[in-house]
Amino acid sequence: MSENNALSPQELELIEILIDPVRFAKYHFDWEARWYQKEMLRSKAIRKVSRCGRRIGKTDVLCVHALWYAFTNENAVVLVATPYESQVKLIFKRIREFLAKSEEISSSVVQNTKHPEYIQFGNGSVISGFTAGTRS
C-alpha cells in the first residue's frame, strides 16, 4: 500500500480476482465461463440448485467454485457427495486438471489423496469427496 493508504491498480485487480470466482477461474486456470456459468458461479445463495441439460458445464462450475471457495476461505470444508464413485472420481479428476494449470493454487495444496478423494490446502481448507447413494 502506498503512503496515502490507497490501493494500487494491481492490488485492486488482485482483490477483484479473489472475490469473483469467474475472474479467479480466468486468471488461474485460463477458463472462460459461459454466461449461464457466470450466473451460477456469482450466485450468493447458500444453497444452489441447477436444473440444466447434459454437457453444459455443470461439473466445471462445481470444480471452479470448490477450488475458489477452498482457496479464498480459511478452514473451509467443501463436501462433494455423489451417488456413484465414478462421479466423485470424475469431479476430482477435473479439479486436479484445474490445479495443474495454476502453480499458485497447486503450490498451496498440502495433501492430495485419491483413496479417499481428498485435497487439503495450506490455509486449512479441504475438498473431500465420497459416495452417498443407495449403492455405495
Question: What digits encode the pLDDT tens for the residues 23-36?
Answer: 999 999 999 999 99
pTM of structure = 0.91
- SS3 at position 90: helix
Angle between helices 21-29 and 85-100 (to 10 degrees): 70
CA 126 to chain centre: 11
Letter for the amino acid at 67? Answer: L
Could you tell me which of 125, 19, 113 has the C-alpha nearest to residue 71? 125
Question: Looking at the predicted structure, is the pLDDT value of residue 2 above 60?
Answer: no
Which tens digit of pLDDT belongs to each residue from 80-124? 999 999 999 999 999 999 999 999 999 999 999 999 999 999 999
**pLDDT mean over 55-66:** 97
Letter for the amino acid at 98? Answer: F
Q: What is the pLDDT of residue 134?
A: 66
Could you tell me which of 114, 115, 98 has the C-alpha nearest to residue 29? 98
Angle at 133 between CA 128 and CA 75, to 5 degrees: 20
Instruction: Tell me what percent of the residues of the chain surpass a pLDDT of 70.
Output: 95
